[in-house]
Amino acid sequence: MATSMTTDEPPSSSSSNRPRSGEKNWLEKILGAFSHEPKSRDELLSIIKDAAENKVVDPEALSIIEGALDVSSQQVREIMIPRSQMVVVSIQDCPKDFLPKIIESGHSRFPVVGESIDDIRGILLAKDLLPLVLKGVDEFRLEDIIRPASIIPESKRLNILLREFRENRYHMAVVIDEYGGVSGVITIEDILEEIVGDIEDETDEDEEDSFIRKVSDNDYVVKALTLIEDFNEYFDCEFSDEEFDTIGGLVMQSFGHLPGRDETTRLGEFRFRVLYADNRQIHLLRVSRSDKPTEEDG
């Protein structure tokens, strides 16, 4: 007697649960990215942005990924600190000459130069000065404490430099142009900020307050690039900005020459003392307000 046999085969998956023909979701796109290399940066970013839209990657992670991709295509010349903005220490300076500059700048590393800015002798780390200060050493030779400088070309790619920073454990490099002249400096922080955004520490000041800083009741540190209009508003005064845009321009006119450190001059009720100037311009001023000139004013 023939008996009918039944099988316990699972039912086939319903076609309604499958993506429709020609339709790809974000997961399939990501999986597809691993099955073949994206053909372009835009294709890769498109996949990652789809993941972000579907909450798989958060906006901050997307921003970091985009920054990392940008770094891989950028060169040092695009983000370096230019020569005109470098804060350097002369190999011939004694501590009383360069310590105020180091303190006021707030930086931790400084190129040390010889006869000119193109004569790089090494890198001074501010932390290397601490043992000398603790020992009460007043005089010492910079040659004895500076570190070797890393010299790189403007055309170096940022991702390669970042790897070298990490492997060699240094944080600053001096950038030179095709003729061998110094064109700027770059730090590991400069590259990381391209990836994750601005990195601020406790010494950073708000942008709106960074040009004028109050030290005491009648003592201020002022950047020479402070606009005269902003200086007037802060101090409630009326310096003219018809000839010059910055307070440094007015001070330079008052001196009649490019002043050196600690030179002073008066403009109206204000006394200006130069804290830092190089062979091209004034950078930093100490400002106090008084109706009467002092013996130091000339």
The CATH superfamily assigned to 78-196 is CBS-domain (3.10.580.10)
pLDDT for 7 equals: 45
What are the beta bridge partners of residue 120? 113
Q: How many residues does the chain have?
A: 298
Instruction: Give the β-pairing of 182-187 and 270-277.
Output: unpaired
> What pLDDT digit, counting tens, does each position of 135-148 carry?
766 677 888 899 99
CB 250 within 8 A of CB 228: yes
What proportion of the chain, given as a percentage, has pLDDT over 90? 34
Rounded to whole angstroms, the maximal C-alpha distance in the chain is: 129
Q: Which two tokens stand for residue 132?
A: 């000398």
CB 224 within 8 A of CB 244: no
Look up residue 297 and give its amino acid: D
| DSSP, residue by residue, 196-257 | H-----TT---GGGTTEEEEETTEEEEETT-BHHHHHHHHT-----SS-SBHHHHHHHHHTS
pLDDT level of residue 79 (50, 70, 90 thresholds): confident
Q: Which of 112-116, 203-207, 259-263 has the highest mean pLDDT?
A: 112-116
What proportion of the chain, given as a percentage, has pLDDT over 70? 76
Decide which of 275 and 90 is more confident: 90
Separation of alpha carbons 44 and 69, rounded Å: 10
Decide which of 118 and 195 is more confident: 118
> What pLDDT digit, counting tens, does each position of 216-237 carry?
778 888 889 999 999 999 999 9
Separation of alpha carbons 50 and 53, rounded Å: 5
In this structure, what DSSP letter does residue 117 have? T
Tell me the average pLDDT of the chain: 79
Separation of alpha carbons 117 and 132, rounded Å: 26
Separation of alpha carbons 81 and 175, rounded Å: 9
Class at the top of the CATH hierarchy for domain 207-289: alpha beta
Decide which of 131 and 177 is more confident: 177
Separation of alpha carbons 244 and 27, rounded Å: 60
Separation of alpha carbons 147 and 132, rounded Å: 16
- Give the mean model confidence (pLDDT) for residues 61-77: 81
pLDDT level of residue 50 (50, 70, 90 thresholds): confident
Establish whether domains 78-196 and 207-289 are of one fold.
Answer: no
Decide which of 27 and 286 is more confident: 286
pLDDT for 13 equals: 45
- Give the mean model confidence (pLDDT) for residues 139-158: 90
CB 128 within 8 A of CB 105: no
Q: Where in the chain are the domains? A: 24-74, 78-196, 207-289
- Give the mean model confidence (pLDDT) for residues 200-223: 68
